[in-house]
Amino acid sequence: MSNLPQPVAVSEDATSLACDALLLGAYAESGSFALDERAAAVDAAMSGGIARFLTSSGFKAGQGEVVVLPGSDGIAADAVAIVGLGDRDKADSTTLRRAVGAAARRLSERASLGVCLPTSDGKTGAVAEGLILGSYRFTTYKTEAKPSKLERLLFVGASDPELERASIVAEATCFARDLTNEPASTLTPDVLAERARGAGDVAGFETTVWTEKELRDHGFGGLLGVSAGSEIPPRFIQMRYAPSKSSRKVALVGKGVTFDSGGLSLKDAANMETMKTDMGGAAAVIATMSAVGRLKPDIEVLAFVPSTENMPSGTAIKPGDVLKHYGGKTSEVLNTDAEGRLILADALAFASEQGPDAIVDVATLTGSIMIALGKKSTGLFANDDALADELVGASRSAGERVWHMPLYDMYRKELESEVADMKNVGSRWGGAIIAALYLREFVGDDIPWAHLDIAGAARAESDYDENSKGGTGVAVRTLVSWIEQRAR
C-alpha cells in the first residue's frame, strides 16, 4: 500500500504547534470569506495577517479552495494553509471530508500538517479520512515516483479513538484502491485470493479459497462458464469475521472479474482500457473485511468473492449457451459481456444458504447505471426498503453518493428464456434494473438483499474531492458504516 499519513492528537494549541503547515478553515460568506472561529484566533496571533492576505488574493472560500501563506511571528508553524469550506449552513462531515481531500493534494510537499478545523459534532474522523484519502497516490510502477510527502497529521484538540477509526477506514479504502489500480496481468484471480488471505492474516478474519476443482464439485456453473475462455483458473474467496457470542450475521458479495474483455461478445479497444477495474466490487468487499477485522464490531460478517477473467478463446462460452448455477437454476447466455451477473448468481445462492440476516452485493455491473446517475454515484437496488434505508443512511454518514433505484417487477419478463430459467440480458432500456432483477432471482426467500452498482463510481477520471484519479475504493466506507450500525 502507498505510504499514508498518520493522524495523531496533540496537546499543543494551534499557535504553539510546530509543523510544516497549519491547516485552518474559512466559510464562503457574502461573496467573500469568514474565518472559522479557530482560524480567527490564529489570525489574531498573526496580527490580522491571514485576513489581509486572503482579501488581497481574492479568496472566496469555495469548497476545496486552498491558499497558502508563510508563517509569521505569533505562531510556530512554518506556513498557514486556509481551505475553503463553502457555505457555513451546508458545512457538514461530507463537505469537510471533500474539502480537505483537495487540500491534501495541494499540501502534498509538506511532511507534517497541523489540523485546526471546525471538528465539533463528530467531524474529526471525517477530516482525518479526507486528508488520508486525498494524499493517496498509486506509484508502484512509476520509475520516478512522486508520492505525497505527508507523514503526520497533528490534530489540535482531537481524541485518539476518532482518529484511530478514521485511519482504519481510510487505509481500507486505499487498500481497495491499490487492488483496483493493479494491472490485470499482476492481479489475477489467484493473486487476488492471496491478497485477501494476507489481509485476513493481518486483520484477524478467516479465509478459505476454492480452486477450480472445488467449484466443479459444488456446481458453480456461472463462475466456471465465464472462466472457460481464460487460461487462468477462477477462484471463489470466502472470508469470515466472527466475534465469539454475536447472534447477528450479514453477508457481503463482491464481483471479482480481474479483467473483462467481454468474452466472445468482445468489447472495443476503448472500452477495454479500464477493465482491470471490473473487480472493484471484490476490492471493496475484501477491504471492508480488513477494516471489520480491526474495528471488531459485535456482528458476524461473511464475505464472498467469485473471481475470474472474462476472455475470448476457442473454449469460451458462446451466445446461446446455457449455464447451470449453484443451487440448480439455469441461465441462457445471450451476451457474454454480461458476465458479472453470471458469477454473482453462484455467490448469492451460496451466501443465501449461510443464513445471513441480510446480503449486500457490490459490483461494477452495468453501463446503464452511469447513464442514469453519472460516474460519481452508486445505484442501490433492494428487495427490502428498510435495508435500503439503512444503506442510504450509512452512505450519507460515510460521505459517499448512493441513490435508491427502483426494482420494477414488470421488467422481469425481459429475462424470460425459451430454453432456460432465464436469460442473462434483456432490452437495452432499464438495463441496470433488469440486471438487479436477475440477481434477485438467486437470493434466498425472505432474505433482505441489496445490490450496489458501482460501475461509474469505482473509477475516477480525474482528481476530485477526496478521490485521486484511478480506483476510488468506493463502497468501503458505506459498508463499514452499515456493519457498525447493524452491530449496535
- Three cell numbers written together for 286: 475484501
- Among candidate residues 235, 193, 188, the one with its CA nearest the CA of residue 214: 235
- All three cell numbers of 76, joined, read 510556530
Residue 484 three-state SS: helix
Burial of 344 by CB count in 10 Å (0-12 exposed, 13-18 middle, 19+ buried)? Answer: buried
Residue of 88, 149, 152, 267 marked active site? 267
The question of whether 341 is a catalytic residue gets the answer yes
Tell me whether residue 123 is one of the annotated catalytic residues. no
Q: How many other CB atoms are found less than 10 A from the CB of residue 469?
A: 14
Q: What are the E-state strand segments in 280-376?
A: 300-310, 321-324, 330-333, 358-363
CA distances from 354 to 80, 329, 447 (A): 54, 18, 11
DSSP letter string, 54-67: HHHHT----TT-EE
Other CB atoms within a 10 A radius of the CB of residue 108 amount to 17
Task: Tell me how far apart the alpha carbons of residues 272 and 274 are, in angstroms, rounded to a whole number.
Answer: 6
**What angle in degrees, to the nearest 10, is found between the helix axes of 160-181 and 124-134?**
30
CA nearest 190: which of 272, 283, 258?
258
From the list 195, 294, 341, 477, the catalytic residue is 341
**Distance between CA atoms of 368 and 391, rounded to whole angstroms?**
21
What's the CA angle centered on 479, arms 297 and 168, to 5 degrees?
60
CA–CA gap between residue 120 and residue 88 (Å, rounded) = 13
C-alpha cell at 345: 448468481
Question: Hey, which residues are catalytic here?
Answer: 267, 341
